[in-house]
Amino acid sequence: MKNLKVWIIAGIGAGSSLLIFMMIIIMIIFNVNLNSSCDDSESAANNPTSATGASGSWEKKGSEAYNTAKEVFDFWVKKGMSGAGAAGIVGNIGGAENTGFVLDQKEIGGGSGGGLYQFTPYTKYLNDPKSDKSWSAQNQSEVVISLEPGTVKSYLSRTKTSSPGDAATNWMNMYERPSEKAKESTNGARRSAAEKFYEMFGGASITANESILGGTVDGANAGEQAQSDEESVNCGDDSTSVPGSWIWPFKSVPKSGPSLDTAQKFGNDGGFRTNSFHDGVDFGDATYNGDIHAVHGGKISKIVKPGEYGVSFYLVWETTDDGYGIAYQEFGNMDDIFVKEGDTVKTGDKIGVSRPGGQEYSHLHLGISKEKDLGKALGKSFTDDGTWLNPVDVIKKGLENSGAGD
């Protein structure tokens, strides 16, 4: 009987040990799955004071990581960035993206990006006219300017007198553009790293010089038309979330997208508008006219009349269940609008009509925002902070997801 008790106790002990072991294995597997998810691709940000690469910490002077970080910092200073602006960029790389400053770093979380600037897809880097495919620190930085000249120019202007921490947050929001969850979990690490780089590399003594970057940005803008039209996808980036059906606003626009000149495109417009930022796409009165169709289903929440919200034209504001605010604007009169407030529209329904003739007549400026509140969205009309999305990119992604043809 005594031996039986011993065996029972031993069995219970062994069973408990096995159960604990199995629970540990499950927790490890569960944690791996969490860390490999799209939303959490950046959530495991390292403490920059202990970040190490293959050749040592970037805080260790003379290490490969330190030398690469310094090369990136010096590049942006030479392009006219203030010490804070350069530190903000380097802080994003070392604080959350690429703690070892590995030149050909695979994107954390398994996304399509890579290199020092992980938001940049491999194919965009390799196919860009500015790329020599070397993955050098200087060349990667040159490609960043080539891919997003407007963003770089706006960032330089915004960070002329900012702190390195604020600069890091600005670069995160303007260029890296991670998911909201990743922003919350990595912003502190980015800011902390930027402050450290600012101190290490003598950022306090470096002032901005916008005139240096100007020529470089103008050259990059001129080359944008020749670049590949491939989509830029960032794992967890809210701007690429386009559920439901989407179409172009005019039936004459092919699936590949509209033909636009520089002033009509989204983003940096070369100085035509306030802050050189265009918050939507102008479909020219010479190329695209006639019926304007709802690019996505939703509700007509507001029809703005001239003088309201500080605008001088009629504007139709549609809100969608999946989180977008869509502006169909610059109608010349109410006769050209075929919907009313409170209407529910499906993708393809007629919103209004665009007529040739220019600003005095109705033409379509299409804006798509992540902000459904009209007042807040219009308050950011000349601010390149991610409130407004590129309509061409959003619609193309929607067409791609739905498999729609021409």
> How do residues 278-317 score in pLDDT, each as one tens digit?
899 988 655 788 899 999 999 999 999 988 888 888 999 9
Q: How far apart are CA 233 and CA 344, in angstroms?
A: 31
Write out the H or E segment, with its range, that includes residue 334. Answer: none
User: Which pLDDT score, from 0 to 100, does residue 231 have?
Assistant: 31
Q: Phi and psi of 366, rounded to 5°?
A: -105, 125
Name which residue leads in pLDDT, 4 or 115: 115
Q: Is 147's pLDDT higher than 90?
A: no
Band of residue 154 on the pLDDT scale cut at 50, 70, 90: confident
User: Which pLDDT score, from 0 to 100, does residue 405 have?
Assistant: 44
User: Which pLDDT score, from 0 to 100, does residue 211 have?
Assistant: 85
Average pLDDT of the residues of the chain: 77
This prediction has a pTM of: 0.47
Q: Is 82's pLDDT higher than 90?
A: yes
Residues above pLDDT 70, as percent of the chain: 72
DSSP states of 345-366: E-TT-EEEEE-SSSTTS--EEE
Q: Is 116's pLDDT higher than 80?
A: yes
- CATH 2.70.70.10 for domain 243-402, yes or no, is yes
Rounded to 10 degrees, the C-alpha dihedral 90/91/94/97 comes to: -100
DSSP states of 51-76: -EETTEETTSTTSHHHHHHHHHHHHH
Q: Which residues pair with 248 in a beta bridge?
A: none
Topology of the domain covering 56-225: Lysozyme (1.10.530)
Q: What SS3 class is residue 239?
A: helix
User: Which pLDDT score, from 0 to 100, does residue 265 have?
Assistant: 86
> What residues contact residue 111 under an 8 Å CB cut-off, 6+ apart?
38, 41, 118, 233, 234, 235
User: Which pLDDT score, from 0 to 100, does residue 237 have?
Assistant: 35
Q: Which range, of 27-36, 44-53, 164-173, 198-207, averages the lowest pLDDT?
A: 44-53
The token duo for 331 is: 């109608």
Q: How far apart are CA 233 and CA 177, in angstroms?
A: 11
pLDDT tens-place string over residues 322-366: 889 999 998 888 989 999 999 999 999 999 998 876 445 567 999
User: Which pLDDT score, from 0 to 100, does residue 285 have?
Assistant: 57
pLDDT tens-place string over residues 244-282: 589 999 998 988 888 887 778 888 766 667 777 889 998
Q: Is 214's pLDDT higher than 70?
A: no
Q: Rounded mean pLDDT of 105-131?
A: 79
Domain with CATH 1.10.530.10 in the chain: 56-225
The token duo for 162 is: 């900012």
Domain with CATH 2.70.70.10 in the chain: 243-402
Q: Is 44's pLDDT higher than 80?
A: no
User: Which pLDDT score, from 0 to 100, does residue 297 have?
Assistant: 94
User: Which pLDDT score, from 0 to 100, does residue 30 have?
Assistant: 36
Q: How far apart are CA 209 and CA 160, in angstroms?
A: 8
pLDDT tens-place string over residues 156-210: 988 988 899 999 998 988 888 777 788 888 899 999 999 999 999 999 999 999 8
Q: Rounded mean pLDDT of 20-34?
A: 42
Name which residue leads in pLDDT, 178 or 3: 178
> What residues contact residue 286 under an 8 Å CB cut-off, 6+ apart?
356
